[in-house]
A and B are shown apart, each in its own frame.
Chain A
Amino acid sequence: MTDWIDIGTLADIPQRGARTVRIAGQKEIAVFRTGDDHVFALVNECPHKKGPLSQGIVHGHSVACPLHNWNIALKTGEAQGNDEGCTPTVAVKQEGGRILIARPASLKAAA
């Protein structure tokens, strides 16, 4: 069973932008809102050199890493084009106007 964490509303995230979430003991998570109001969550690190993806330019359902412009698919976390690598994704859903992310597995036991 997945534990869902309420992290706020769609309006808390700029359209074509991202906000970050910190959970103890975990890597920082970037929560993205696309132009068509889909929400995705990824670990906030580019697979290339750990650039903070939350600060990249969001276009379509991708984000361009601010450090070296790698394009990462928001849905899968995979680098696009000729680049290879993958950023872990975090399950996310919108429910009753709230955004919920899945509590990362290693926290489950602790809680």
Chain B
Amino acid sequence: MDFQNNGPEMASEEQRFAPSQDVREHLVVVGNGMAGCRAVEELLARDKDRYRVTIFGAEPYVNYNRIMLSPVLAGEKSFDDIIINGRDWYKDNGIELIAGDPVTAIDRAARTVTSQSGRTVGYDKLLIATGSDPFIIPVPGKDLPGVISFRDMKDVDTMLAAAEAGKALGGGNAVVIGGGLLGLEAAHGLTLRGMKVTVIHLMDTLMERQLDEAAGWLLKSALEGRGQTILTGANTAEIYGDGKVEGVRLKDGREIPASLVVMAVGIRPSTALAREAGLEVNRGIKVDDHMVTSDPDVLAVGECVEHDGNVYGLVAPLWDMCRSLADGLTDRHSGYRGSVTSTKLKVAGLDVFSAGDFSGGEGCEDIVLRDASRGVYKRVVVRDDRIVGAVLYGDTADGGWYFDLLKREEDVSEIRDLLIFGQAFASGGGALDPKAAVAALSDDAEICGCNGVAKGQVVACIEKGACSLDAVRATCKASASCGSCTGLVENLLSVVLGEDVQSGPKTLCKCTSFTHDDVRREIVAQNMRSIPEVMQLLHWSTPDGCSSCRPALNYYLLCALPGEYQDDQQSRFVNERMHANIQKDGTYSVVPRMWGGLTNPRELRAIADVVEKYNAPMVKVTGGQRLDIFGIRKEDLPAVWADLNAAGMVSGHAYGKSLRTVKTCVGSEWCRFGTQDSTGLGVKIERMTWGSWMPHKFKIAASGCPRNCAEATIKDFGVVCVDSGYELHVGGNGGIHVRATDLLCKVSTEQEALDYCAAFIQLYREEARYLERTAPWIERVGVDYVKRRIVEDEAGREALRSRFLYSQSFSQEDPWAQRAAGADSELHQHLEPPMPFGAIAAE
């Protein structure tokens, strides 16, 4: 991860108002986190010129989304992905950022703050947004190296380092103390990073503040199913270790060895600075409805405050507070009235939702739905015909609806019978109309939890002209982080715009809202390593995809992680799975490789023998100058391959989205017009490129003179040899839409022809969409683009070439030889019922 660009940051170079002459009131913000910066954003949205703003941050970074530290730990996002406001935001708004230098004192009489480095800055208005501190339970050993909290980027770095160190030893042990949300996210991330994780939780069920017992139990068994050890009702006595942490001892004497202990038992408002400054502090810094503390010139916002006796540790109330605060600072009168909170979470990829009070008790009725086989549990708590609480596990789609009913205190007696089945059912009909559902939400219903965007804001943003998903993402940030609300935003777009939705680029398939390009980009950006991981992180709408997306994802992962990705056979089309071409009668045809179209008696004899031995009804010369043996039964394939292998022949990959053939003419060796050795060059190209997987089938040809007998100008990559060298052609296609190639460039040596060929293939492999041949790809991106990347950018070409060759170092293994040697032999065989039915089956 690269944090360097975001490192300690001092005054921005260009400010719209130089501080010395700036006569505006000076707002100093202590805290560069989510609350502090959001408050400034709200203020700027109301009156961008009213205050001169200076922000102090303890961490050496720009404003980032602390909630998203879990995905960073889990390797799903990079630090850059979780930045809320980058350097430009500070600069464009004339905000001075003093990062990596925490404020250590407030002098209210002099109206100044002083930072750790000794800097003293005067203020007219001061905003304290110091958030909260992790709670460290006072057990022996809590200060040992290796004991950390899970609060900031530094903690994430420590965890990553521990996981890395553990890897060298075959997976280290980690203990997470605390089975709340934060603890479970830490545990999940560490598990994904390869550590063996034990979660120690004091209470009897996990996340007892958000979930009832039943849901907590479901969560526990799901996490155990993923290899974590969960100890509930477990009380930590001591963290032991000599000089650094070595393990945790429980009160009952059990010892759990660990090289890393993450303490995630809770947080408490960070109030020390306010307390020392003599402000009124109870559990948090006391504030009024406009977030003003006991000093009228000092405000406070976020997790560090206490409003009306309540302290909040969730993001939604924070947005509410920031709005009221900004109203107050710009002489508007709204006033914060407290927040009812809901939690919609993905804990370790499991959907969990809770809202309101679900403790039950007198006068409360519980409506419960359990569907054990689907892993779904829903509980709605109703008092006096109004929803007062809800817990959902496994299927949280209706969370927003329940929460909306709860906040509006709506009478649900009319729909009580159907309430538990969700909005679609309860609103009558039973047919699911997601658009009606989103249309029915109130304006302040939260759409995007990551960025705190309510329905009203999304609608306003669409009405101001954002008429595509991307535009909404760019304008109000809804759906711009984790993407789980993408469907909601799309439905809102069509509700608001009617028919006028600009449909974006086509999605990869019906299972996802992402396009091919999105998916490819995210696979690389989030370093995804398996198909299930992609489907999980990108919120696939089907359990295991479909016959369109699975082969595409398999290819994208294979291309992104050469030598590392474990190929998924079941996500390959039958031809690639069986290494032969399926024909209309269910038999297969087999094409051995004949390098550059050359063959010899030994190979021909082997082919002839195979044809006789297996009664192949037909042999045919293919368009790419190879021999195709038809009518081979699935059961006979391994034996056919073994015979062909024995004659030195390997698979021609005629069945794959891969390099098929390199067609040649005889060139200078025999032809009276030939200018170069096109046959020899064709063999060299085929030796370099065989075995490579591609977005689609890929054909090459090399012609020895401009008469072009190998038809190189309708191939994906073609070489036409001329007196002075080699013309390189790309993007040809002899298929349904015949397309002649574009001339890429001319080179003078055979080696250059090979190098350009490798670079071109790799560019196509990395950037084309699955099942897009070079012809439509080049028409889409433009041949000039390809020239820029391959011809003009020498370093880029070399990088592409070496990535191709690196990938080839893993892929040039003959799949036939592996099968002939017995790999996956059962795939070629029928299941055999045991006797006596076996006897019947044997006819």
| B residues near A15, Cβ cutoff 8 Å | 570
Q: Mark A48-67, 1 if CB is under 8 A from B, else 0.
A: 01111001111110001011
| A residues near B570, Cβ cutoff 8 Å | 14-17, 57-58
| B residues near A31, Cβ cutoff 8 Å | 831
Q: How far is the CA of A14 from the CA of B833 in the complex (A)?
A: 17
Q: How far is the CA of A52 from the CA of B570 in the complex (A)?
A: 15
Contact of A22 among B543, B572, B573, B830 (CB under 8 A): B830
Determine the residue in chain B with the shortest Cβ distance to A62: B546
Task: Flag if A52 contacts B586 (CB, 8 Å).
Answer: yes
Contact of B547 among A19, A21, A24, A64 (CB under 8 A): A64
| A residues near B573, Cβ cutoff 8 Å | 57, 66
B544 at the interface (CB under 8 A from A): yes
Task: Flag if B571 contacts A57 (CB, 8 Å).
Answer: yes
Q: Which of A64-107 contact B (CB under 8 A)?
A: 64, 66-67, 69, 71, 103, 107
Contact of B831 among A17, A19, A36, A66 (CB under 8 A): A19
| A residues near B542, Cβ cutoff 8 Å | 59-60
Determine the residue in chain A with the shortest Cβ distance to B578: A55
Q: Mark B577-610, 1 if CB is under 8 A from A, else 0.
A: 1100010111000000000000000000000000
Task: Flag if B574 contacts A24 (CB, 8 Å).
Answer: no
Least distance between A59 CB and chain B CB atoms (Å): 5
Task: Flag if A12 contacts B574 (CB, 8 Å).
Answer: no
Q: What 5 pairs between A and B have smallest CB-CB spacing?
A: A64-B547, A66-B574, A16-B570, A57-B547, A35-B544
Given known contacts A35-B543, A55-B582, A56-B547, A19 and B833 CB-to-CB distance under 8 angstroms: no
| A residues near B578, Cβ cutoff 8 Å | 55
Interface residues of B (CB under 8 A from A): 542-547, 550-551, 569-575, 577-578, 582, 584-586, 634, 826-827, 829-834, 837, 840-843
Q: How far is the CA of A56 from the CA of B584 in the complex (A)?
A: 14
Task: Flag if A36 contacts B827 (CB, 8 Å).
Answer: no
Q: How many interface residues does chain A have, given as a range?
A: 35 or more
Task: Flag if A59 contacts B547 (CB, 8 Å).
Answer: yes
Q: Mark A11-36, 1 if CB is under 8 A from B, else 0.
A: 01111110111111000100100011
Task: Flag if B551 contacts A57 (CB, 8 Å).
Answer: yes
A111 at the interface (CB under 8 A from B): yes
Least distance between A1 CB and chain B CB atoms (Å): 16
Task: Flag if B586 contacts A51 (CB, 8 Å).
Answer: yes
Least distance between B770 CB and chain A CB atoms (Å): 14
Task: Taking A35-B543, A57-B546, A57-B574 as given, write out 15 further A-B residue pairs in contact, using a Cβ cutoff of 8 Å, ordered by the A residue number.
Answer: A6-B834, A6-B837, A7-B831, A13-B831, A21-B830, A23-B840, A49-B584, A50-B585, A50-B586, A55-B582, A57-B573, A60-B543, A60-B544, A64-B547, A111-B840
Contact of B544 among A16, A23, A24, A67 (CB under 8 A): A16
Task: Flag if B833 contacts A6 (CB, 8 Å).
Answer: yes
Least distance between B513 CB and chain A CB atoms (Å): 18
Contact of A12 among B545, B551, B569, B826 (CB under 8 A): B826
Determine the residue in chain B with the shortest Cβ distance to A68: B584
Task: Flag if A24 contacts B827 (CB, 8 Å).
Answer: no
| A residues near B634, Cβ cutoff 8 Å | 55
Q: How far is the CA of A107 from the CA of B832 in the complex (A)?
A: 17
8 chain-A/chain-B pairs, Cβ below 8 angstroms = A16-B571, A24-B841, A28-B830, A51-B586, A52-B586, A57-B547, A57-B574, A59-B550
Q: How far is the CA of A102 from the CA of B585 in the complex (A)?
A: 27
| B residues near A50, Cβ cutoff 8 Å | 585-586
Least distance between A81 CB and chain B CB atoms (Å): 11
Q: How far is the CA of A8 from the CA of B547 in the complex (A)?
A: 27
Given known contacts A12-B831, A19-B830, A50-B586, A59 and B840 CB-to-CB distance under 8 angstroms: no
Determine the residue in chain A with the shortest Cβ distance to B843: A24
Least distance between B510 CB and chain A CB atoms (Å): 11
Q: How far is the CA of A57 from the CA of B577 in the complex (A)?
A: 10
Given known contacts A12-B831, A16-B570, A23 and B584 CB-to-CB distance under 8 angstroms: no
| A residues near B826, Cβ cutoff 8 Å | 12, 19
| B residues near A51, Cβ cutoff 8 Å | 586
Task: Flag if A8 contacts B831 (CB, 8 Å).
Answer: yes
Least distance between B767 CB and chain A CB atoms (Å): 25
Could you say which of B542, B634, B831, B837 has the most chain A C-beta atoms within 10 Å of its C-beta?
Answer: B831
| A residues near B842, Cβ cutoff 8 Å | 24
Q: How far is the CA of A15 from the CA of B571 in the complex (A)?
A: 11
Task: Flag if B574 contacts A56 (CB, 8 Å).
Answer: yes
Q: How far is the CA of A24 from the CA of B830 in the complex (A)?
A: 13
| A residues near B840, Cβ cutoff 8 Å | 23-24, 107, 111
Q: How far is the CA of A57 from the CA of B550 in the complex (A)?
A: 9
| A residues near B584, Cβ cutoff 8 Å | 49, 67
Determine the residue in chain B with the shortest Cβ distance to A20: B830
Task: Flag if A59 contacts B831 (CB, 8 Å).
Answer: no
Q: How far is the CA of A28 from the CA of B633 in the complex (A)?
A: 14
| B residues near A59, Cβ cutoff 8 Å | 542, 544-547, 550
Least distance between A56 CB and chain B CB atoms (Å): 7
Contact of A20 among B543, B571, B575, B831 (CB under 8 A): B831
Determine the residue in chain A with the shortest Cβ distance to B834: A6
Least distance between B319 CB and chain A CB atoms (Å): 38
Task: Flag if A67 contacts B831 (CB, 8 Å).
Answer: no
| A residues near B574, Cβ cutoff 8 Å | 55-57, 66
Least distance between B580 CB and chain A CB atoms (Å): 11
Least distance between A98 CB and chain B CB atoms (Å): 10
| A residues near B569, Cβ cutoff 8 Å | 14, 17
Could you say which of B546, B573, B840 has the most chain A C-beta atoms within 10 Å of its C-beta?
Answer: B840
Q: How far is the CA of A12 from the CA of B832 in the complex (A)?
A: 10
Q: How far is the CA of A36 from the CA of B542 in the complex (A)?
A: 12
Least distance between B655 CB and chain A CB atoms (Å): 11
Q: How far is the CA of A5 from the CA of B833 in the complex (A)?
A: 7
| A residues near B571, Cβ cutoff 8 Å | 16, 57
Q: How far is the CA of A90 from the CA of B528 in the complex (A)?
A: 39
| A residues near B827, Cβ cutoff 8 Å | 14, 17
| A residues near B834, Cβ cutoff 8 Å | 6
| A residues near B577, Cβ cutoff 8 Å | 55
Q: How far is the CA of A24 from the CA of B578 in the complex (A)?
A: 26
Determine the residue in chain A with the shortest Cβ distance to B839: A24
Task: Flag if B547 contacts A69 (CB, 8 Å).
Answer: yes
Q: How far is the CA of A71 from the CA of B542 in the complex (A)?
A: 15
Least distance between B571 CB and chain A CB atoms (Å): 7
Task: Flag if A7 contacts B550 (CB, 8 Å).
Answer: no
Given known contacts A17-B570, A55-B578, A23 and B841 CB-to-CB distance under 8 angstroms: yes
Q: How far is the CA of A51 from the CA of B582 in the complex (A)?
A: 9
Could you say which of B545, B573, B586 has the most chain A C-beta atoms within 10 Å of its C-beta?
Answer: B586
Q: How far is the CA of A59 from the CA of B572 in the complex (A)?
A: 12
| A residues near B550, Cβ cutoff 8 Å | 57, 59
Q: How far is the CA of A35 from the CA of B573 in the complex (A)?
A: 17
Q: How far is the CA of A51 from the CA of B544 in the complex (A)?
A: 23
Task: Flag if B582 contacts A21 (CB, 8 Å).
Answer: no
Q: How far is the CA of A9 from the CA of B831 in the complex (A)?
A: 10
Task: Flag if A67 contacts B841 (CB, 8 Å).
Answer: no
Given known contacts A50-B586, A66-B582, A67-B584, A21 and B551 CB-to-CB distance under 8 angstroms: no
Determine the residue in chain B with the shortest Cβ distance to A23: B841
Given known contacts A55-B574, A58-B570, A21 and B831 CB-to-CB distance under 8 angstroms: yes
| B residues near A35, Cβ cutoff 8 Å | 543-544
Determine the residue in chain B with the shortest Cβ distance to A98: B834
| B residues near A6, Cβ cutoff 8 Å | 833-834, 837
Q: How far is the CA of A107 from the CA of B543 in the complex (A)?
A: 37
| A residues near B832, Cβ cutoff 8 Å | 7-8
| B residues near A36, Cβ cutoff 8 Å | 543
Q: How far is the CA of A103 from the CA of B837 in the complex (A)?
A: 10
| A residues near B586, Cβ cutoff 8 Å | 50-52, 55
| B residues near A17, Cβ cutoff 8 Å | 569-570, 827
Least distance between A108 CB and chain B CB atoms (Å): 12
Determine the residue in chain B with the shortest Cβ distance to A15: B570
Given known contacts A19-B826, A57-B573, A59-B550, A67 and B582 CB-to-CB distance under 8 angstroms: yes
Least distance between B525 CB and chain A CB atoms (Å): 26
Q: How far is the CA of A107 from the CA of B831 in the complex (A)?
A: 18
Q: How far is the CA of A23 from the CA of B838 in the complex (A)?
A: 8
Least distance between B348 CB and chain A CB atoms (Å): 19
